[in-house]
Amino acid sequence: MHEVALSRQLARIVLRHAKGREVLAVDLEVGHLRQVVPEALLFAWEAVRKSVLEGQAALNITEIPAVIACQECGSKTQIGEILDFRCENCLSRDIKTISGEEFRVVSIEVSPERKQ
Ligand SMILES: [Zn+2]
């Protein structure tokens, strides 16, 4: 499952920043083009974080919509469930992706005290 691999990747990033402190919360931005199912990611995260991290490490996922910009007419189009990379204004396929590829840790909340 794709979400398990992402959770492991995320745990490595969080672990590096936590420096042995308890992790309370993790804010994550995930782009639509990553094709992540938030529920599946949360489920995978529960298993992964328990084996790797100290603390609750509650995962807050913000989904970032996928937006493309047309190189022909300059219109911006938001990509829906069906990944159709065409300008909705002029139907050109000469587009550039503006957002939607994010997999980014925005913030990590850690406890101020070091664990004994
Ligand atoms: Zn266009």
Domain boundary assignment for the chain: 1-64+101-116, 66-99
CB 67 within 8 A of CB 100: yes
Distance 75 CA to ligand 1 centre (A): 5
CA of 36 to the centre of ligand 1 (A): 28
Closest-CA residue to 26 (of 92, 78, 89, 103): 103
pTM, two decimal places: 0.85
Flag whether pLDDT at 114 surpasses 70: no
Distance of alpha carbon 55 from alpha carbon 71, whole angstroms: 47
Written out in words, the top-level CATH class of the domain with range 1-64+101-116 is alpha beta
pLDDT (tens digit, 9 = 90+) per residue, 34-91?
A: 999 999 999 999 999 999 998 999 999 999 999 999 999 999 999 998 999 999 999 9
| Cα 87 to ligand 1 centroid, rounded to whole Å | 5
